[in-house]
């Protein structure tokens, strides 16, 4: 990472506010570890929940759970990563110090306000969520625009799209339109799938080639652009229902096939001895596996909804966990391959995905058991990250440099 800060200024800033990955990785992982057990308790054992019954007076459980996993957990990780990476990409200063603390406070206030069991108007958490995403998008835009680095201009645009989709989700809550909510959750999953397509397509082959000492395979334009187009169409289909099920099935099969061909070129077989690498590859390959599974169940609404969790847990959360483990070490000047052992955490998420997405279809009479097993594995994975990485994220870089 380039040293573009004034050390005298940065040293006065508490370590947690020195770069975006620090608070957002720690905050996102913390709510991931806490909110799934809270969701399970409140849904299945309300008498043991920390909240009174009126907790759900304004915020409906079936809305809160996916909203907080997508806009609370996942977008915290995404924004922390982008606020950190844009500084490296553009050599322009990103958020730090008080502006970073205020942006994080907006994210945190939205989470807290959705948990308070009193009559708080829904527009208030919506406002703080919008400020969090809007400030992040404008920061990315400023950095990219100053150096005219147009290849990265899509990231602030994508965040503004996420901001609009989030506002639509709050509208769906107010209107109690849970059919619209389901469309929004699926759209955001594919929005995140598109982000994995773009960012994963850059970092996974790059990290792999460096570690296994191979030349990085050059992208094939005839594969890359149709793949991105297919993922964009899946986002649009989720919100607007533009196509018939048969056409959507074709899109799923095309996107899955292109992802699989792409992944096969990245030397996945050479990563088996390195958890920091195979975890990225397992997370990525679970995206095409999900696309194929959804295509096979295009007319089964129940199976389709369960199988979306295969992507949400094994691919999206798996990619998040692997990347935040790696980035947290690299950007605090630690050896990426000699950090805390996260192997059990990396294994826990694919297992959680299996119990949450597959077992309810195989043995539906034990669905509650599968939910608890999956939730326990999920909480273990992100709890382990918080345990190992909280000291790393809250302390200065070991080389004394800014960041």
Determine the pLDDT at residue 3.
Answer: 44
Residue 302: CA count within 13 A, CB half-sphere:
6
Closest among 151, 125, 6, 1 to 72, alpha carbons compared? 125
Helices 21-44, 75-90: axis angle to 10 degrees equals 170
Alpha carbons 48 and 354: distance in angstroms, whole number: 27
Determine the pLDDT at residue 42.
Answer: 80
DSSP 3-state assignment of 331? coil
Determine the pLDDT at residue 7.
Answer: 52
Alpha-carbon dihedral 292, 298, 230, 290, rounded to 10 degrees: -30
Alpha carbons 137 and 144: distance in angstroms, whole number: 11
Determine the pLDDT at residue 55.
Answer: 52
Burial of 242 (0-12, 13-18, 19+ CB in 10 A): exposed
Please, are residues 179 and 301 in contact by the beta-carbon 8 Å criterion?
A: no
pTM of the model: 0.94
State both tokens at 205: 């082959």
Place of tokens 């940065």: 10
Determine the pLDDT at residue 279.
Answer: 98
State both tokens at 160: 């503004």
How many residues appear in the chain? 403
Determine the pLDDT at residue 1.
Answer: 38
Sign of the C-alpha dihedral computed for residues 349, 382, 75 and 337 taken in this order: negative
Instruction: Per-residue pLDDT tens, the chain, 403 aa: give them.
Output: 344 455 555 468 899 999 999 999 999 999 999 999 988 988 888 776 655 555 555 667 789 999 999 999 999 999 999 999 999 999 999 999 999 999 999 999 999 998 887 778 889 999 999 999 999 999 999 999 999 999 999 999 999 999 999 999 999 999 989 899 999 999 999 999 999 999 999 999 999 999 999 999 999 999 999 999 999 999 999 999 999 999 999 999 999 999 999 999 999 999 999 999 999 999 999 999 999 999 999 999 999 999 999 999 999 999 999 999 999 999 999 999 999 999 999 999 999 999 999 999 999 999 999 999 999 999 999 999 999 999 999 999 998 887 7
Q: What's the pLDDT tens digit per position in 244-287?
A: 999 999 999 999 999 999 999 999 999 999 999 999 999 999 99
């Amino acid at each position: 990472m380039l040293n573009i800060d004034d050390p005298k200024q940065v040293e006065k800033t508490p370590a947690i506010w020195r770069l975006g990955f620090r608070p957002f990785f720690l905050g996102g992982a913390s709510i991931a570890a806490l909110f799934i057990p809270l969701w399970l308790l409140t849904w299945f054992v309300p008498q043991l929940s920390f909240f009174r019954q009126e907790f759900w007076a304004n915020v409906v459980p079936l809305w809160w759970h996916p909203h907080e996993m997508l806009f609370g957990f996942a977008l915290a990780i995404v924004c922390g990563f982008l606020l950190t990476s844009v500084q490296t990409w553009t050599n322009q200063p990103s958020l730090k110090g008080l502006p970073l603390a205020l942006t994080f406070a907006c994210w945190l206030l939205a989470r807290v306000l959705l948990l308070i069991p009193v009559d708080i108007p829904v527009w208030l958490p919506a406002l703080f969520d919008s400020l969090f995403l809007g400030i992040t998008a404008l920061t990315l835009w400023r950095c990219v625009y100053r150096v005219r680095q147009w290849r990265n201009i899509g990231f602030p645009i994508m965040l503004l799209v996420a901001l609009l989709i989030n506002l639509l989700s709050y509208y769906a809550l107010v209107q109690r339109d849970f059919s619209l909510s389901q469309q929004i959750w699926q759209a955001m999953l594919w929005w995140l799938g598109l982000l994995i397509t773009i960012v994963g397509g850059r970092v996974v082959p790059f990290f792999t080639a460096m570690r296994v000492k191979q030349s990085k395979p050059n992208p094939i334009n005839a594969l890359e652009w149709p793949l991105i187009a297919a993922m964009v169409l899946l986002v649009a289909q989720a919100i607007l229902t533009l196509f018939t099920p048969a056409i959507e099935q074709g899109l799923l099969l095309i996107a899955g096939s292109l992802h699989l061909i792409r992944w096969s070129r990245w030397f996945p077989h050479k990563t088996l001895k390195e958890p920091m690498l195979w975890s990225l590859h397992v997370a990525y390959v679970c995206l095409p596996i999900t696309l194929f599974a959804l295509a096979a169940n295009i007319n089964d609404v129940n199976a389709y909804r369960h199988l979306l969790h295969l992507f949400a847990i094994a691919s999206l959360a798996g990619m998040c966990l692997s990347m935040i483990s790696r980035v947290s070490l690299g950007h605090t000047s630690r050896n990426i391959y000699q950090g805390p052992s996260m192997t059990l955490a990396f294994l826990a998420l694919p297992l959680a995905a299996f119990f949450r997405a597959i077992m309810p279809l195989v043995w539906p009479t034990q669905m509650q058991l599968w939910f608890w097993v999956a939730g326990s594995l999920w909480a273990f994975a992100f709890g382990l990250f918080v345990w190992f990485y909280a000291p790393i994220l809250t302390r200065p870089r070991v080389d004394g440099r800014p960041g």
